[in-house]
Amino acid sequence: MCFGVTTMALAHSENEVVTMLKAVGLRVTPQRDAILRHILVYRGHSSADDIYRSIHERWPNISVSTVYNTLKSFSEAGLVKEITFGDGASLFDANTYPHHHMLCVQCGQLTDFYLPEMPDLTSVAKELCFQIDECQLEVRGVCANCQDIMKS
């Protein structure tokens, strides 16, 4: 998907990744280290496939399913947030802070956005006898880049 390459790479020393894994009780393995490091460096929203493709040259023994299972365990531990859109593949979001997404229907770019407060759905939920666990908005449209392309 969309990787915003930033200078975050410099901010994540080897020790930081190890500390994060240990903090959530995950044993430090080269695979976990490589996958978590990749997520922290590229931020954004990655599928298991995305990560597999970018690390398999350096880690040829890692399979897509290993990457997927590792991401699942990261998600359970709260290191990443798993999100799905429609019937698409799970994406793993480096941003674990509560937020919403704008999805570009042309290029698939996902952009995070924040609202000062969550919409209050208490009365709606009560009416439907629905127990809300979480609420994430997915806004569809066309990103600035694709609008420019369409104009030219």
- Contacts with Zn ion, residue ranges (CB under 5 A): 104, 106-107, 109, 143, 146
Q: Measure CA of the first residue to CA of the last residue in the chain; give whole Å.
A: 24
Q: Pick what 143 binds: Mn ion, Zn ion, none; C-beta below 5 to 8 Å, kind-dependent.
A: Zn ion
Using CB under 5 A as the criterion, what x/- string covers residues 34-63 for binding Mn ion?
Answer: ------------------------------
- Give dist(CA 126, CA 132) in Å, integer: 10
Q: Does 112 help bind Mn ion (rule: CB under 5 A)? A: yes
* 3-class secondary structure, 17: helix
User: Of Zn ion, Mn ion, none, which one does residue 107 interact with (CB within 5 to 8 Å by kind)?
Assistant: Zn ion
Amino acid at 7: T
Position among 18, 31, 95, 102 found at the interface with Mn ion (CB under 5 A): 95
CA dihedral 10, 14, 20, 23 (to 10 degrees): -150
Which residues of the chain form contacts with Mn ion (CB under 5 A)?
A: 93, 95, 112
